[in-house]
Amino acid sequence: MEFIKSILKNRKLIWQLGKNDFKNRFASTSLGSIWGFLQPFVFMFTYVIVFQYILKTGSAGNDPYVVWFLPAMAMWQWINDSILSASMSIRTYSYLVKKVVFPVDVIPTISIVASSFVALFLIVVATIVCIIFGYIPNILELLYVIFATYCFIIAVTRFTSAVTTIVPDFSNLLGIVMQLFFWFTPVVWNLNMLSNHQTILTIMKCTPFTYLITTFREVFIQGNIISDNNFIFTIAFWIITIVMFVWGNSVFKRNKKDFADVL
Tens of pLDDT, residue by residue, the chain (263 residues)? 677 888 888 888 888 888 888 777 766 665 556 766 777 777 777 777 777 666 666 556 677 888 888 899 999 999 999 999 999 999 888 887 876 677 888 899 999 999 998 899 899 999 998 898 889 998 998 999 999 999 999 999 999 999 999 988 899 999 999 999 998 888 888 887 787 888 888 888 889 999 999 999 989 887 665 555 568 888 999 999 999 999 999 999 888 887 877 76
152 Cβ contact list (under 8 Å, min separation 6): 79, 208, 212, 237, 241, 244
Q: Residue ranges of the alpha helices (H) in the chain?
A: 2-9, 11-24, 34-48, 65-87, 89-92, 94-99, 107-132, 139-166, 170-184, 198-206, 208-218, 231-255, 259-262
Report pTM: 0.89
| Cα(125)–Cα(127) distance, integer angstroms | 5
* The pLDDT value given to residue 99: 67
| Cα(87)–Cα(202) distance, integer angstroms | 29
CB 197 within 8 A of CB 203: no
| Cα(199)–Cα(206) distance, integer angstroms | 11
| Cα(59)–Cα(52) distance, integer angstroms | 9
* Structural domain harbouring 126: 2-262
Domain count, the chain: 1
Give the Cα-Cα-Cα angle 209, 176, 197 (nearest 5 degrees). 45
* The pLDDT value given to residue 96: 79
- By CB neighbour count within 10 A (0-12 exposed, 13-18 middle, 19+ buried), where does 235 fall? exposed
| Cα(199)–Cα(48) distance, integer angstroms | 30
CB 142 within 8 A of CB 71: no
* The pLDDT value given to residue 44: 76
* The pLDDT value given to residue 176: 94
* The pLDDT value given to residue 52: 67
* The pLDDT value given to residue 30: 57
* The pLDDT value given to residue 17: 86
* The pLDDT value given to residue 198: 84
What phi and psi, each to the nearest 5 degrees, are found at residue 58? 65, 25
